[in-house]
Structure 1
Amino acid sequence: MPLRETNRRIRLRRTGRVPADARVRHYDELAEETQVAIREVAEGPWTIPETGDLDDGDVVKFTDYYEVRAR
């Protein structure tokens, strides 16, 4: 899915705990454009434009578990 046209941005935060009510998204199930963004943002403290694949509070299983924070 493409990046959303909003002013919101997302940041990934490595987490060792996955909340029971969190939606867990596996990296290989995400759209290619979102995968590229995840690879970039997981390597540093950067933010990216909000994506259509991810919402605030989701958890992405990539090289580790990452919690999605949108603002």
Structure 2
Amino acid sequence: MSLRETGRRLRLRRTGWVPPDARVRHYDELGEETQILVRELAGRPQTAPDTGDLDDGDFVKFVDYYQVRTR
């Protein structure tokens, strides 16, 4: 079952600090669907359906660093 089928939602929160042991995903490593999601959510206080590419607590390097939160 994909994460999308679980109904989980994803949010990005901009952060200036990334823990040394954090999983960091670079924008260009992500699938096309997830890249679109990151562009839409970066810097916006909204959620979107989880694509399954990112896990809660991951960090994404886009223009800035963003922490992934899922629920």
Please say whether Structure 1 and Structure 2 have the same fold, judged by a TM-score greater than 0.5. yes
Which structure has greater helix proportion? 2
TM-score of the aligned structures, taking structure 2 as reference length: 0.89
User: What does residue 9 of structure 1 align with?
Assistant: 9
User: What does residue 32 of structure 1 align with?
Assistant: 32
Gaps of 5+ in 1: none
Q: Distance in 1 between matches of 2:40 and 2:67?
A: 15
Percent of aligned pairs with the same amino acid: 73
- Letter of the structure 1 residue corresponding to residue 31 of structure 2: A
Q: CA deviation at 1:52?
A: 1.5
Q: Deviations 1:7-28 (Å, cap 9, x if unpaired)?
A: 2111000000001221100000
The DSSP-based 3-state class of the residue aligned with 1:4 is helix
Q: Distance in 2 between matches of 1:20 and 1:51?
A: 25
Gaps of 5+ in 2: none
Q: Which runs of 4+ in 1 moved over 3 A?
A: none
Q: Distance in 1 between matches of 2:67 and 2:11?
A: 8
